[in-house]
Amino acid sequence: MTSDRKVRVRFAPSPTGPLHIGGVRTALYNYLFARQHGGDLIFRIEDTDSTRFVPGAEDYIIESFRWLGIKFDEGVSFGGNHGPYRQSERRDIYRKYVDQLLSEGKAYIAFDTPEELDQKRQETENFQYDASTRTQMRNSLTLSPEEVEQLIASGHQYVVRFKIEPGREVQVDDIIRGMVTINSSVLDDKVLFKSADGLPTYHLANIVDDHLMEVTHVIRGEEWLPSAPLHVLLYEAFGWTDTMPRFAHLPLLLKPVGNGKLSKRDGDKFGFPVFPLEWHDPKTGEVSQGYREQGYLPEAVVNFLALLGWNPGGEQEVLSLDQLVQLFDLSQCSKAGARFDYIKAQWFNHQYLLQRPAMEWTPEFDKILRAQGIESTPEREAQVVDMMKLKVIEYTDKEGNKKKRNISFVSDLWPLCRFFFLPPESYDTTDKFVRKNWKAETAAEMQQLADLLATTTDFSAEGLKATIEPWTEQTGIRPWNAWRVALVGTGQGPNMYELAAFLGKEETLSRMAHAIQTISVN
RNA sequence: GGUCCCUUCGUCUAUCGGUUAGGACGAGAGAUUUUCAUUCUCUAAAGAGCAGUUCGAUUCUGCUAGGGACUACCA
């Protein structure tokens, strides 16, 4: 029934704050699906809750997708001829459809105030506004038409509720989960139109918009599965079943450890972002970490997210956006929630960082160096990157254990490479590497090497190798580790010839002289 | 409490009745290395439980257990 229509999907967030990483994945799956079928991806803003509107959230969401490389075909800020795409600008449209339901007796007017309903819920256990209770409430079903008119005329606030007929098996055909059946008796008469702000609720706006915007597939989070039968019933009530979109409810993203879904607190606890971009809360002033600012590459975030809840099955996991579009299969998505494995996210970033030419690291690297008061050139910085990008970084985890991991961020570089730019402040003779490699006779040997280097004119890595190697064979001295102590201060860094070449003759000799003078061992 | 959804190595997952249950992250071991690494090789590691259908179940069905979501005039 929908197969002959052009595929049209949408991502429709509420501008209530920064975009959660789970929302990013939902948008990504919509994007992959749309691209794969040559369809359209629509960006709709669902701002029917005026009380939760947060300024800046909409721009934040748009900027997030721009950064991630997820492109929309139409919608807020993208144009298109199915607009407006902001629900707050579609009041009149919704009003018309609510009136249609009302006049057909498929919806009714209810005067019960929120307070009265709260009261009712406290009094009766499991109170639900439905076929079993609506006859005892104040609504257009129990009141006479005259009374209703009078109440409205006298300014009483009212909502419009959907009149659900009980005892029906409602079926939702879900691409991921198969046929989901629920009895309409357990559904309540959902509010379709709110009294407070004259706007529809999500349910009504969603169905009307998806219909008018010719959406063919609704791909959204699993939290919507329980209300999907209600949506099916709404399509029926409007007579739109022949063009009803197909549903696909995605599994949720779960906490890295423990129970429940992924929350902002988990990010704080383990030190990973749950938002694509840094977010400054306009009300509280609180700042939340973003993937972009933490040094993640957009390709890495996309790749990682794509594989949370879906997998192409092959052995390759590092996949570009284009490859993901090729391979993606909505019906192969897993049904169970996926734990958020932020360690693997770091690994993906490591992979994509390594793919980048060193010169592309330097803008970010330069910022870090400048923060340390170091001036350098992109060329020299790129040299350091090339020498150090395969190293690992030591860090302290949340339990206080020393751990090692691959370089995953440009910012990992600094603690590993300060000796390129700064001489050792002092020589730590308690350092295992220093003790092992700087013996009583070492100073004299280093002096010999220094004398040799003083006469060397070719200070390139190759030149150094050509001059030093014959000397080591002649004398039997194995100078590299002690030389490393002199230039680095400990057992770190690249090949010694490369390092000395980078530092240059003057700096190399200066550091050696200093080490010969300073280090004393017994 | 009610309704619905889910359940393969620690984690993400492959398998769409017949496999030595595969891969990746993480972990461990070894080799290589002028340091630390990289790299390479190897190892450990799983079908929640119980019934049933079947010649044969991880795969189908039911029950139990566990997990998740929803249960607003929020989305």
Q: From first to last of its 522 residues, what are the pLDDT tens digits of chain A? A: 445 799 999 999 999 999 999 999 999 999 999 999 999 999 999 999 999 999 999 999 999 999 999 999 999 999 999 989 999 999 999 999 999 999 999 999 999 999 999 999 988 888 999 999 999 999 999 999 999 999 999 999 999 999 999 999 999 999 999 999 999 999 999 999 999 888 999 999 999 999 999 999 999 999 999 999 999 999 999 999 999 999 999 999 999 998 889 999 999 989 899 999 999 999 999 999 999 999 999 999 999 999 999 999 888 999 999 999 999 999 999 999 999 999 999 999 999 999 999 999 999 999 999 999 999 999 999 999 999 998 888 877 666 677 788 999 999 999 899 999 999 988 888 888 888 888 888 889 999 999 999 999 899 999 999 999 999 888 888 899 999 999 999 888 999 999 999 999 999 999 999 999 888 765
Phi and psi torsions of A179, nearest 5°: -80, 120
Question: A446 is written with which tokens?
Answer: 């280093």
Gap from A260 CA to B67 C1', in Å?
A: 9
Residues in contact with A432: Cβ distance below 8 Å, sequence separation at least 6, in sequence order: A491
Question: ipTM score of the complex?
Answer: 0.95
Residue A364, both tokens: 């970010």
Q: Find the Å distance, CA of residue A391 to C1' of nucleotide B30.
A: 20
Task: Report the distance from CA of residue A226 to the C1' of nucleotide B5 in Å, as an integer.
Answer: 9
Phi, psi values for residue A156, rounded to 5° = -70, 135
Q: Strand B: list positions under 7 Å from protein Cβ.
A: 1-8, 10-15, 22-27, 34-39, 67-75
Strands (E), A23-146: 40-43, 74-75, 107-110
Other C-beta atoms lying within 10 Å of the C-beta of residue A207 = 26
Which nucleotide is the nearest neighbour of A492, by CA and C1'?
B36
Enumerate the active-site residues of A. Answer: 264
Beta bridge partners of A288: A279
Q: How far apart are CA A350 and CA A493, in angstroms?
A: 19
DSSP run (H or E) holding A404 = strand A402-406
Rounded to whole angstroms, the distance from the CA of residue A300 to the C1' of nucleotide B23 is 19
Question: Which nucleotide has the shortest C1'-to-CA distance from A468?
Answer: B34
Are residues A41 and A31 in contact, defined by beta-carbon separation less than 8 angstroms? yes
Q: Nearest nucleotide to A180 by CA–C1' distance?
A: B4
Number of helices (H) and strands (E) in chain A: give both, helices first.
19, 16
Beta strand A279-280 with A253-254 is unpaired
Q: How many CB atoms lie within 10 A of CB A353?
A: 23
C1' nearest to CA of A185: which nucleotide? B3
Please give the domain boundaries of chain A with CATH numbers for all domains. 1-76+251-355 (3.40.50.620), 92-193 (3.90.800.10), 357-418 (no CATH), 423-518 (1.10.10.350)
- The C-alpha atoms of residue A48 and residue A76 are separated, in whole angstroms, by 15
**Terminal C-alpha separation, chain A:** 87
Q: Nearest residue to B35, CA vs C1'?
A: A491
Q: For A486-516, b where at least 16 C-beta lie within 10 A, e where not — what string?
A: bbbbbebbbebbbbbbbbebeebbebbeebb
**Å separating the CA of residue A78 from the C1' of nucleotide B70:** 33
